[in-house]
Chain A
Amino acid sequence: MECLALTWRGEYATEQKGFTLWFTGLSGSGKTVLAKAVETELRSRGLKVERLDGDIVRKSLTKDLGFTKEDRDTNIERVTFVAKLLTRNGVAVLCSFISPYRERRTKSRAEIGNFVECYVECPLEVCMERDVKGLYQRAMAGEIENFTGISDPYEPPENREIVVNTAQQTLEESVEVILRRLEELGYLEPEEEVYSAEDEAAVDERLRALGYI
């Protein structure tokens, strides 16, 4: 499957290998926050990036679906289709979905190919304490059915490429883990160090003497 797109790195075009970075974890574990931060980093390195987020997709592409197992599987199936199309056209696709079922995630992996699974680990009690959208409180009050972690299961990945723990790491630390792993997997070129500390100081001093800074 062709997953390349031209992207410019300085004087020459180079080929960007498309991939899907799939964030999975409980509601409130930090999937969207992480995806946004990683998006910023990837864009700054010149990659084409698209983000598919559960909250957003459920208002459009899958607004007809609920939270039964069948509907959740269909939700992920549709998103996987979109991610596959983007990936094979050289885009870095960042998907942030609870995607609680292992079997469905395995199917997504097989369908997309260049698939990097990132388990966003966070204890349920921490997610409940954060309760960023007030959903846990409503779920505990019985107002929401089929709520992952409360009334529905979450199956953690067993063969994921990346694990970050948002209860123990800062956002910057988690992003760093993700970027390093993408470099190791060959989806991201390592950032080069242009200047040694000594050279940077020399250029800095020159710019200061020239009045630029």
Chain B
Amino acid sequence: MTRRLLVIGLDCAEPSLVFDRWREELPHLNQLMEAGTYGELESTIPPITVPAWTSMLTGKDPGELGFYGFRNRADYSYDQMSIASSAAVKRARVWGRASASGKRVVVVGVPQTYPPRPLNGYLVTSFLTPSTFSQYTYPQSLKAEIAQVVGDYMLDVRDFRTEDKGYLLRQIYDMTEKRCQLVKHFLRTKPWEFFMWVEMGVDRIHHGFWKYMDPAHPKHEPGNRYQDAIRDYYRYLDAQIGEILELVPDDAAVLVMSDHGAQPMEGGICFNEWLMREGYLVLEDQPEGIVPLAKCEINWRRTKAWGAGGYYGRLFLNVEGREPQGVIPPQEDDATRDELIAKLEALTDPQGRNIGTRAFKPEEVYREINNIPPDLIVYFGNLAWRSVGSVGLDTIHTFENDTGPDDANHAQNGLFILTVPGLAGQGRVPTHSWRAIAPTMLGLLELEVPPDIEGESLL
């Protein structure tokens, strides 16, 4: 069994594009698939960058981790939220276990690593870092080295919501180019047994350019100038991966993976507008224009529930004795949620066709519940529709996002491609759960898999 592992994380990489549509145009990923084992990787509920990457790296589901998205309720007040930084991660990730056993690790751009924590090696944080003026490396001295190698490092693209798609595309390439340059520099100069890099460019290009590529997208216009933008980026990334693989010793296992997939976005469901129409949410005054719910005066005494926007919907109940002005008796909490689930699952598009919404109770999908989860996790149209939290649109359906243009939503399944020296690959295999990742990584590093990490290794 090998003792070295390189993990190439491609945030949001979509299996249908890598395995099928563009496989022949991605020679290095294709070579890994031909030599190894690959398939779809079912993500967490919800399939979002945070908590998905951390769940995969700790072997713990979002309930066990105690965070359910990027921002979570800090308490049962109506407005205190906190960002799930690395300080929220209370369970060991694979590189922490590797470090503790004396293995040398390099971690680049993995989500939820700011602020950086000491480890046995080197770490560069990700886009939840305020800026490169913050301490975004471990050790601190690494910052100066990064500046020498790539100049002005890019934690993320700037001005993602711009309508200037040419500018956005250049940003995505610049960011990826710098990160790949840094990864190659570290591969050449740092000793390691565990090396993990997550590239966010795939996610950014999907959200920014999907409609140009996909004829199935409601806003697709054939023959547009960005029709090949995503394909060209995948090809570019594959070439970078090829250069990176040349720097990797023959005894290293390679795991390419994504935290979730992507799909065209049909539109947005105005969650709070819907809750108002159904009588669950009452505002003191009708808003003027489109306004985030946080800026509205809510009549809490007449409000049973409110929602939050994003790629998936979060619903919160206003419970007596729990929220400051709660109205739902605690014993009616479950019945209220059942009622809402039935109504959500009956949601239709403007033509009256059911869109296939799914809603989950946290206690039914997580092994345990820590901190404060949403009372319901909602996949509008099974994630084909995003959740829009703003009010004042006076409609349930919208085809313009309240935060700017967005072409894609997440899909539940991402991908994995695993090659292990000396181990014959199995080719395409059935979908595996995200729970397979931590045991697989620990096994490849010859580290013990603790009994509380469930999940079958990919090996």
A interface, CB within 8 angstroms of B: 7-13, 43-46, 192, 194-195, 199-200, 202-204, 206-213
Residue in A12, A199, A209 whose CB lies within 8 Å of B96: A12
B325 to chain A minimum Cβ distance, whole angstroms, is 16
Does the CB pair A8–B161 fall under 8 Å? no
A45 and B118 contact, CB distance less than 8 A: no
The 3 closest A-B pairs by CB, nearest first: A46-B90, A199-B130, A10-B117
How many whole Å from A5's CB to the nearest CB in chain B?
Answer: 14
Report if A8-B404 is in contact (Cβ < 8 Å); known contacts: A43-B370, A204-B71, A211-B386: no
Instruction: State in angstroms the CA–CA spacing of A177 and B204 once bound together.
Output: 45
Q: Report yes or no: A195 in contact with B118, Cβ–Cβ below 8 A.
A: no
B87 touches A192 (CB 8 A): yes
Q: Could you tell me if A44 and B371 are in contact, using CB atoms closer than 8 angstroms?
A: yes
A194-B83, A209-B403 known; A203 and B130 CB under 8 Å? yes
* Chain B: minimal CB distance from A88 (Å): 22
Partner of B48, one of A11, A44, A212: A212
Asked if B69 and A212 sit within 8 Å, CB to CB, the answer is: yes
- Chain A residue with the shortest CB-CB distance to B403: A208
Residue B226 at the A interface, CB < 8 A?
Answer: no
CB–CB A212/B128 < 8 A? no
Q: In the assembled complex, which residues on chain A have CB atoms less than 8 Å from the CB atom of B66?
A: 44
A11 touches B96 (CB 8 A): yes
A210 (CB) vs chain B CBs: closest residue: B160
Chain B nearest CB: distance from A91 CB in Å? 16
Q: Is the CB of A213 within 8 A of B91?
A: no
CB pair A8–B91 under 8 Å, yes or no, is yes
- For B123, the chain A residues whose CB sits under 8 A away are 11
Q: Which of chain A's residues have a CB closer than 8 A to the CB of B156?
A: 206, 210
Does B311 lie within 8 Å of A203, measured CB to CB?
A: no
Q: Are A8 and B92 in contact (CB under 8 A)?
A: yes
CB nearest neighbor in A for B386: A211
A10 touches B83 (CB 8 A): no
Do the beta carbons of B117 and A212 come within 8 Å of each other? no
| 9 pairs, CB–CB < 8 Å, chain A vs chain B | A7-B90, A10-B96, A12-B100, A44-B66, A194-B114, A195-B85, A208-B403, A209-B403, A209-B404
- How far apart are the CA atoms of A7 and B268 in the complex, in Å? 42
Of residues 143 through 193 on chain B, the ones whose CB sits less than 8 Å from some CB of chain A are 156, 159-161
Majority secondary structure, A binding face? mixed
Are A12 and B160 CB-contacts (below 8 A) given A204-B71, A208-B403, A211-B401?
no
A207, B401: Cα distance in complex, Å: 14
B residues less than 8 Å from A43 (CB atoms): 370
Judge whether A195 and B83 touch: CB under 8 Å.
yes
Q: Interface size on B (CB < 8 Å)?
A: 48
The answer for the CA separation of A212 and B371 in the assembled complex, in Å, is 20
Residue B27 lies at the interface, judged by CB distance under 8 Å to chain A: no
A197 CB → nearest B CB, Å = 11
Q: Which residues of A lie under 8 Å from residue B159 when comparing CB positions? A: 209
Quick check: is B263 within 8 A (CB to CB) of the other chain? no
B93 located at the interface, meaning its Cβ lies under 8 Å from any Cβ of chain A in the complex: yes
List 14 other contacts, CB 8 Å, given A199-B130, A213-B309: A11-B99, A11-B118, A12-B99, A12-B118, A44-B370, A44-B371, A194-B83, A194-B115, A200-B83, A209-B161, A209-B404, A211-B401, A212-B48, A212-B49
The answer to the question of B236 belonging to the interface, with a C-beta cut-off of 8 Å to chain A, is: no
Most buried by A among B89, B371, B401, B403: B403
- Contact of B195 with A by CB under 8 A: no
Residues of B within 8 A of A208 (CB): 403
Docked pose: A211 CA to B266 CA in angstroms:
15
Report the separation of the CA atoms of residues A100 and B156 in the bound assembly, to the nearest whole angstrom: 60
Q: Which residues of B contact A211 (CB under 8 A)?
A: 207, 310-311, 386, 401, 403-404, 406
CA distance A200 to B207 in the complex (A): 23
Does B86 count as interface, using CB distance less than 8 angstroms? yes
- In the complex, the chain B residue whose C-beta lies closest to that of A44 is B371
Flag whether B131 is at the interface (Cβ < 8 A).
yes
| In the complex, chain B residues whose CB is within 8 Å of the CB of A204 | 71, 83
Assuming A44-B66, A209-B160, is B119 touching A12 (CB within 8 A)?
yes
In the complex, residue of chain A having the shortest beta-carbon distance to the beta carbon of B308: A213
Residues from chain A with a CB closer than 8 A to the CB of B160 are: 209-210
A1, B118: Cα distance in complex, Å:
29
Chain B residues with CB under 8 A of A203? 83, 128-130
Q: Is the CB of B87 within 8 A of A212?
A: no
- Rounded to whole Å, the gap between the CB of B219 and the closest CB of chain A is 16
Chain B nearest Cβ from A157, distance in angstroms: 30
Chain A residue with minimal CB distance to B292?
Answer: A208
Q: B70 within 8 Å of A by Cβ?
A: yes
Bound complex: CA A44 to CA B72 (Å): 13
Interface centre among B95, B123, B130 (most CB of A within 10 A): B130
Question: What CA separation (Å) do A204 and B401 show in the bound complex?
Answer: 17
From the candidates A8, A202, A210, A213, name the one contacting B71 in the complex (CB within 8 A): A213
Determine the residue in chain B with the shortest Cβ distance to A198.
B130
B330 to chain A, nearest CB (A): 15
B100→A9 contact, CB < 8 A:
no
* Pairwise interchain contact B96-A8, C-beta atoms closer than 8 A: yes
- Is B127's CB within 8 Å of the partner chain A? yes
CB distance from B410 to the nearest CB of A (A): 10
Given A11-B95, A45-B90, the answer on whether A212 and B310 have CB atoms closer than 8 Å is: yes
Q: A202–B95 Cα gap in the complex (Å)?
A: 28
Kindly supply a per-residue 1/0 record for chain B positions 197-221, scoring 1 wherever the CB is within 8 Å of any chain A CB and 0 otherwise. 0000000100100000000000000
